[in-house]
Amino acid sequence: MVTKAQKEEQLRAKVLKVAQQLFQQYGLQKVTMDDVARAIGKGKSTLYYYYKSKEEIFDAVVEHEIKDMLAHLRTALAQADTASAKLETFVLTKLRIMRQKVALYNLLYEDITRHYVQEFSERIRQHYLQTEVLMIKEILQLGVDTAEFKGITDLNLDQVAFVLTSGISGIEQHTLLSEQFGPAEENVKLLSRILVQGLKR
């Protein structure tokens, strides 16, 4: 027997699931609340019983995608032993997942940054940046703890993590846009290798 609270939670989850599918099918900006309501067989105002606003639904979908991406990253990182292996795994896995999301949502690479900056809320962007910087920081901390990264023991790991995060995303952006200097995978691996060497000293 399903409780009232469970039924409500099921409907809330269904709204997000359906919204996500519609976003993928029609694009992030084309989907209306009416679309979502029809797709789950309810009236539009019903959505406002379960969610405060369209933005709340949109943010929840985005957060779910990000959480999914971060989960994949953590799973992949868990299978790498050393800090340097983890850094390489990080850049490659992130690139792979980005390609998948781009294909799934039928986006152009050019549009990723525009969507990210203009439509994702500041809170989500901040949270994502903080989380990514934190993942890199954990890798760096492991490198310091295992004496693999001797070159940064005197540095602020938050700042180092941020610098690496930014550099990596610069590579992602440039090489996804144009692979005239070789495949994106090779480029991010090369950066990872140089960075690792730099961290080890």
Partner DNA sequence: TTTCGACCAAAAAAGTTTTATGGTCTAAAA
Partner DNA sequence: TTTTAGACCATAAAACTTTTTTGGTCGAAA
CB 50 within 8 A of CB 11: yes
CB 59 within 8 A of CB 124: yes
Q: Shortest distance, CB of residue 119 to its own copies, whole angstroms? A: 15
- Give whichever of 105 and 149 is closer to DNA, judged by the CB atom: 105
Tell me how far the alpha carbon of residue 195 is from its chain's centroid: 22
Q: Shortest distance, CB of residue 11 to DNA, whole angstroms? A: 6
91 part of the interface to its own copies, by CB under 8 A: no
Looking at residue 3, the DSSP 8-state letter turns out to be -
Q: Shortest distance, CB of residue 129 to its own copies, whole angstroms? A: 9
Partner from its own copies, DNA, none binding residue 193, C-beta < 5-8 Å depending on class: its own copies
Q: Shortest distance, CB of residue 198 to its own copies, whole angstroms? A: 3
How far is it, in rounded angstroms, from Cα 182 to Cα 185? 8
How far is it, in rounded angstroms, from Cα 185 to Cα 178? 12
**Type of residue found at 169:** S
For binding to its own copies (CB under 8 A), which residues are involved?
110, 113, 117, 133, 151-152, 155-156, 158-160, 162-171, 173-175, 181-182, 186-187, 190-191, 193-201
